[in-house]
């Protein structure tokens, strides 16, 4: 474990996914206590995307942005919202120069799969249709997210490919949760890792899926054909149950002819970049923004 991160482990709050309402409240309180990001260089706007169930979005627009990313927050599809994601969305917009469209998708277990995916896909479609209004090139639209949000982003890319939906330039997948089967080495062995462990992941999938079987749009690792998907940047944390499914997905994308940058961060755990004082966290956040900047600038 990175020593700067390890020093914080005793102080990490516990989130109990067996009680979604309490988990949301605890996470919101934790997020509110974090330092506010510098938004001086950003124009921030609240919008509602019309869909079968209207979707709230928060748009972060840097000056002279050329591309955009539909950004999906983490939280196991159970907790997290536009406010808790505000620091991360702002940092990505500021660091990448891209318009970040942060999505307030519906949460489980009240809204199980495919509600969150439907919301994310609706925002992708809306972004492509309103590119001129947003001031972005419709050929430079990416999808991305953290944790469960990164899994949703991967699913959006699969669905857009299969349904001939809006073209996606790039996938930015930070510590993605992709596989409900939990059979990888890291899933079987990381049962007591900080912040995120096997039991919490099991609970999150149960909330998201209920009794229905997982499809590739719910768990992208189940997709048998990964050809024709957008290039990807995939970041993993060393001490993270979802590490190996993300690495496996990256390798399978490569074998399907998809360009991938895979970055495995030594000494880190799932979500540890929230510890902003750690040097490795600063590098992680900077790399996410830089990868997006490169992908949308080419």
Q: How confident is the model at residue 298 (pLDDT cuts 50, 70, 90)?
A: low
Note if 270 is an active site residue: yes
Say what the pTM is.
Answer: 0.97
How far apart CA 222 and CA 173 sit, in angstroms, is: 17
Does residue 137 carry a pLDDT above 90? Answer: yes
SS3 assignment for the chain? CCHHHHCCHHHCCCCCCCCHHHHHHHHHHHHHCCCCCCCCCEEEEEEEECCCCCEEEEEEEECCCCCEEEEECCCCCCCCCCCCCHHHHHHHHHHHCCEEEEEECCCCCCCCCCHHHHHHHHHHHHHHHCHHHHCCCCCCEEEEEECHHHHHHHHHHHHHHHCCCCCCCEEEEECCCCCCCCCCHHHHHCCCCCCCCHHHHHHHHHHHHCCCCCCCCCCHHHCCCCCCCCCEEEEEEEECCCHHHHHHHHHHHHHCCCCEEEEEEEEEECCHHHCCCCHHHHHHHHHHHHHHHHHHHC
238 vs 11, higher pLDDT: 238
Active site residue 240: yes
Catalytic residue among 240, 244, 272, 281: 240
Report pLDDT digits (tens) over 88-136: 999 999 999 999 999 999 999 999 999 999 999 999 999 999 999 999 9
Confidence of residue 14 (pLDDT cuts 50, 70, 90): confident
pLDDT at 66: 82
Report the pLDDT value the prediction gives residue 16, as an integer from 0 to 100: 86
Tens digits of per-residue pLDDT, 175-230? 999 999 999 999 999 999 998 999 999 999 999 999 999 999 999 999 999 999 99
259 catalytic residue (yes or no)? no
> Among residues 86, 146, 196, 270, which one is catalytic?
270
> Across the chain, what does the average pLDDT equal?
96
Q: To the nearest whole percent, how much of the chain has pLDDT over 70?
A: 100
Active-site residue identified among 147, 186, 272, 281: 147
Which two three-digit tokens encode residue 82? 């536009």
Could you read off the pLDDT of 257-292 as tens digits, one per residue?
999 999 999 999 999 999 999 999 999 999 999 999
> Of 195, 283, 276, nearest to 239 (Cα)?
195
Q: What is the mean pLDDT of residues 145-171?
A: 98
Task: Return the pLDDT at 246.
Answer: 98
């Amino acid at each position: 474990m990175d020593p700067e991160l390890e020093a914080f482990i005793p102080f990490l709050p516990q989130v109990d996914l067996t009680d979604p309402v309490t988990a949301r409240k605890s996470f919101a309180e934790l997020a509110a206590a974090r330092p506010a990001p510098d938004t001086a260089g950003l124009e921030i706007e609240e919008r509602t995307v019309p869909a079968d169930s209207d979707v709230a979005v928060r748009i972060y627009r840097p000056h002279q942005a050329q591309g955009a990313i539909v950004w999906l927050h983490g939280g196991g599809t159970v907790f997290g919202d536009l406010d808790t994601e505000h620091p991360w969305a702002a940092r990505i917009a500021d660091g990448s120069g891209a318009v970040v469209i942060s999505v307030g998708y519906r949460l489980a277990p009240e809204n199980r799969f495919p509600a969150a995916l439907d919301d994310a896909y609706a925002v992708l479609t809306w972004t492509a249709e309103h590119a001129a209004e947003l001031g972005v090139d419709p050929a430079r639209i990416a999808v991305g997210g953290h944790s469960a949000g990164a899994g949703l982003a991967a699913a959006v890319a699969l669905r857009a490919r299969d349904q001939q939906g809006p073209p996606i330039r790039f996938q930015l997948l930070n510590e993605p949760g992709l596989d409900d089967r939990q059979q990888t080495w890291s899933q079987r062995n990381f049962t007591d890792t900080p912040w995120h462990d096997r039991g919490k992941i099991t609970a999150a999938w149960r909330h998201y899926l209920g009794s229905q079987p997982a499809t590739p749009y719910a768990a992208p690792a189940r997709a048998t054909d990964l050809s024709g998907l957008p290039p990807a940047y995939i970041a993993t944390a060393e001490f993270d149950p979802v590490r190996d499914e993300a690495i496996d997905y990256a390798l399978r994308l490569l074998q399907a002819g998809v360009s991938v940058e895979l970055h495995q961060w030594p000494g880190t755990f799932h979500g540890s970049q929230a510890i902003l004082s750690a040097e490795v966290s600063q590098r992680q956040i900077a790399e996410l923004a830089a990868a997006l900047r490169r992908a949308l600038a080419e």
